[in-house]
Structure 1
Amino acid sequence: MLVFFRSKHEVITRNYDFTGTGFSPLPSKPSISDNQKFHWSVALVKDLAAVFASIFLSAIGYGILMVLIAFKLEANVKDEILMSISTVAQIGAGVIFSRFLPSLGQKAGMINSIYIGSILSAICSLLLYWYFGYAVWLFTIYIIGTSFFICGVTRNTLMIDLAPQHMRSMIISLGVMLVAIGNSLGPVILGVLKTEETFSSFAFAASCYLASMLPLARLKKIESNVREEKKISIWRYIKNSPKIMFAGFAVSYAMSSASAFSIIYGIKIGMPNNEASLLLSVLLFGTILYIPIGYLSDILNRRMMMIFSTILSLICLYGLYVNDDIQKIYTLLFLMFGCLAGIKLPAIVLINEKYKPTQRLAVNSAFSRVSLTGNICGLLTTGIIMKNLGASGLWISIMIILLLFLLFCCFNYSQKFIRKELTLADFSIFNKHQNEQLSEA
């Protein structure tokens, strides 16, 4: 079977023998070794810039639309439970569609998949201006959640595919930074335009999604076209990479909980509304830590970095639990975001390095599905815990999931060590850049 994938800025074709257990490479043209010295090219820089531009424009549209959705819900849906269901529907759409995304990428291609998702996002953005009833609203939110998932996962896969191996963490960090900046600029742009909830605001968000398609036109000729017949269950990915998948689940659980309930936490402990609202801003401002963490992730042992970052996160959370000083709470929130990034960023790099390029879209889809499930579980579980334990339940909830992740890692490594699948060298501080690709992904 012939598989096409992108490597070192060229489209390489390689024959794969489809056996009972997976894909094994057959001798073909000499491949470019990852150990060879890498040289930047103008074309590669332009390709990465195109992906970054697409990510940034889409993030601006998302930032605008999330504000408009909140306004619409507040004006038309008074029930808080129905508002929560709307949020869960948007997230759940990605969980449900994740199993179909690899098929879409296979049939339509990665760039066309992004085009389809962007057009759907634009159409739904316009439709959200009119409120035809909660059922229609929920359906539209579900469709736009699906489109967000298609674009987000496929863009990330394309970005990782383009990234040089030795700089993969830094490239991902830049992508995350652009998403955060774009999301934060959305409300600012909305305020500058002063269009508020008019149709023009929804149209501007839609135009951002359509504009995000334009930079990707240059990648049409060189995109990865993966033709792979074998269907891999998400449970197989979880079985092969339990710690990585658990990391995605735990961090998403923690981040969704902190993002959704940090302001409520501030109000419950007696902070003025303006100071409580800053809690979310401080938390998200921690995105700037992605750059140094990305640099460290390219140098240090990523698995050990995940464990160490989990321990630091637990220390920050304990500080938040026992502290009532506002300045210390701000500082600890900022640091906690950085520590959580130190868990998830290595996990993203590891999951993409562990599987063959032909499986990247599928495995990123599976990883996102697990992460989105973590988002939903975090929102529901933390809400219940806070209702019973009060404001501090926010930190208790996050501590529980991170502690479970840490215990699971320790148990998993101890089992492997007993079976002599690991040696002390595997616990080295520095990244040895080992090729860990599985023959079966």
Structure 2
Amino acid sequence: MLSTLSNVWALLLGIMLLMVGNGLQGTLLGVRGELEGFSTYEMSIVMSAYFVGFLGGSRMAPEMIRRVGHVRVFAALASFISAVLILYPTVANPWVWTLGRVVIGFCYSGVYVTSESWLNNAATNENRGKALSMYMIVQMVGIVLAQALLLTADPSGYVLFVIPSVLVSISFAPILLSISPTPAFETDKPMSLREIMKTSPLGSVGMFLLGGVFASQFGMAAVYGGEAGLSLPEISIFVAAFYVGATILQYPLGWLSDMMDRRVLIMLTSAAGGIGALLGMIMGGHFPLLLVSAFLIGGTSNPLYSLLIAYTNDFLEPEDMAAAAGGLIFINGVGAVAGPLITGWLLGAFGPPGYFALIAVLLLALAGYAGYRMTQRATPDQDETGHYMPVMPSASPVAVEMAREYALESAEESDASATNT
């Protein structure tokens, strides 16, 4: 582990700083929007705009990188992120914020593609799995640290917007100065949505539903906190609980996924997350139970993302997996765009319980659909299924491809060991 870290520590540090900036701006806007008197509907549009930009960036960033190279794309997009973060408090208008969120979502999508390409290039066959694990951990740590930074200054001022802007600017240095070779960049054309739906109906439907769940966590959790009357420290802890749960439960659920029918695990995990959301809806007035709810939602929904990718790959040839992953990420992004808009409407119509109502419906619907799919298709042979590899919902197709390569390498090593024995 230490040898792996010595090779990629600067890159991982830069990525963590980027995640701190992204995690802080998402929560901060939810808090500041309430202070500015923005309506719940206006804030839902602001939060949804990030995923519109992210979806567009995931489609356009690869072509930009091919045309002008990794370094120029990374520096230009990160500069735009830094600039927009400063503009938020300068022009406190919901439509200006909406445009800013589109820009930031687009830029972060491109930055993830670029940094993950460098990470994949820096990793070797021997340490690729450890590099991926550390990548996911620093992402989670960055988001959790961002919530702590929310308490360092007054959200009605400028300082909290300056902090993520500075962090994003600083993130350039370790990434750009520590990586000498420019990695080759190739992407596969995503499979058509019809092909993906035919190959894995559960993977397709599940990714769409999870998009709404993720968007509610990442975009609307702070808005919910304001509507529920939580204090600033409580909002910070509440948002962090989602990602603490994701970090703790990711690997145990991943281990189980390689030991049993993944559809059963998808059904049970979704049901557990749905029950957690119902707990928050019914007992949201009790802050400790609210944290339990957030922990369960984050701890189930984030591993579900990787589970659905792994399950879909069980029905694909290795050469088709990268193309399918691009399509699944697009489906997830479409669901993410709709999530904040529906959440905002429910918050306005039913108050704070409406936030958890949507998450509960989405996760329980996924559990029900997973149960239905078990009656429509035979259980895949355990010997023919691929290995689970944790991937964050914010990951680009590059990280998913990196996880796929590691899973295939692990499978080949397992087969070789079995043959030798």
TM-score, length-normalised on structure 1? 0.68
Q: Does 1:252 align with 2:239?
A: no
Please state how far the C-alpha of 1:145 moved relative to its aligned partner: 1.9
Please state how far the C-alpha of 1:132 moved relative to its aligned partner: 8.4
Match in the other structure for 1:282:
241
User: Of residues 334, 337, 362 in structure 2, which corresponds to 1:376?
Assistant: 337
Contact 2:20 2:164 (8 Å CA) reproduced: yes
Please state how far the C-alpha of 1:146 moved relative to its aligned partner: 0.8
**Which structure features the higher share of helix residues?**
2
Counterpart residue type for residue 57 of structure 2? F
Q: Distance in 1 between matches of 2:346 and 2:31?
A: 27
Contact 1:284 1:337 (8 Å CA) reproduced: yes
Q: Distance in 2 between matches of 1:370 and 1:340?
A: 16
Match in the other structure for 1:88:
48
Contact 2:245 2:299 (8 Å CA) reproduced: yes
User: Of residues 300, 304, 323 in structure 2, which corresponds to 1:343?
Assistant: 304
Within 5 A, what are the aligned runs for 1:399-414?
A: 399-414=360-375
Distance 1:409 1:169, change over 3 A: farther
Distance 1:320 1:172, change over 3 A: farther
Mean alpha-carbon deviation: is it higher for 208-217 or for 348-357? 348-357
Within 5 A, what are the aligned runs for 1:162-177?
A: 171-177=131-137
Mean alpha-carbon deviation: is it higher for 346-355 or for 142-151? 346-355
Distance 1:285 1:365, change over 3 A: same
Q: Does 1:211 align with 2:211?
A: no
Q: Distance in 2 between matches of 1:167 and 1:315?
A: 38
Contact 1:124 1:140 (8 Å CA) reproduced: yes
Match in the other structure for 2:76:
116
Distance 1:435 1:235, change over 3 A: farther
Please state how far the C-alpha of 1:89 moved relative to its aligned partner: 1.7
Q: CA RMSD in A?
A: 4.6
Q: Does 1:303 align with 2:285?
A: no
Q: Distance in 2 between matches of 1:294 and 1:174?
A: 17
Match in the other structure for 1:14:
none
Q: Distance in 2 between matches of 1:283 and 1:187?
A: 11
Distance 1:388 1:246, change over 3 A: same
Counterpart residue type for residue 58 of structure 1? L
The C-alpha deviation readout for 1:77-96, integer Å capped at 9, x for no partner, is 64443333222222211223
Q: Distance in 2 between matches of 1:241 and 1:219?
A: 38
Match in the other structure for 2:112:
152
Structure 2 runs not aligned, ≥5 long: 390-406, 412-421
Q: Distance in 2 between matches of 1:342 and 1:56?
A: 20
Contact 1:122 1:205 (8 Å CA) reproduced: yes
Contact 2:15 2:139 (8 Å CA) reproduced: yes
- Point out the structure with max Rg over C-alpha: 1
Please state how far the C-alpha of 1:58 moved relative to its aligned partner: 0.6
Distance 1:260 1:352, change over 3 A: same
Specify the SS of the correspondent of 1:223.
Answer: coil
Q: Distance in 2 between matches of 1:69 and 1:265?
A: 12
Q: How many residues align?
A: 389
Distance 1:111 1:394, change over 3 A: same
Match in the other structure for 1:54:
14
Contact 2:269 2:300 (8 Å CA) reproduced: yes
Contact 1:90 1:146 (8 Å CA) reproduced: yes
Please state how far the C-alpha of 1:344 moved relative to its aligned partner: 1.7
Please state how far the C-alpha of 1:142 moved relative to its aligned partner: 1.9
The C-alpha deviation readout for 1:355-392, integer Å capped at 9, x for no partner, is 868984x6655444332322232223344445556654
Please state how far the C-alpha of 1:231 moved relative to its aligned partner: 6.8
Please state how far the C-alpha of 1:72 moved relative to its aligned partner: 6.0
Within 5 A, what are the aligned runs for 1:208-247?
A: 208-217=167-176, 218-221=178-181, 223-226=183-186, 232-233=191-192, 236-247=195-206
Counterpart residue type for residue 250 of structure 1? L
User: Of residues 25, 39, 42 in structure 2, which corresponds to 1:65?
Assistant: 25
Q: Distance in 1 between matches of 2:103 and 2:227?
A: 35
Q: Distance in 2 between matches of 1:196 and 1:266?
A: 16
Q: Does 1:140 align with 2:96?
A: no
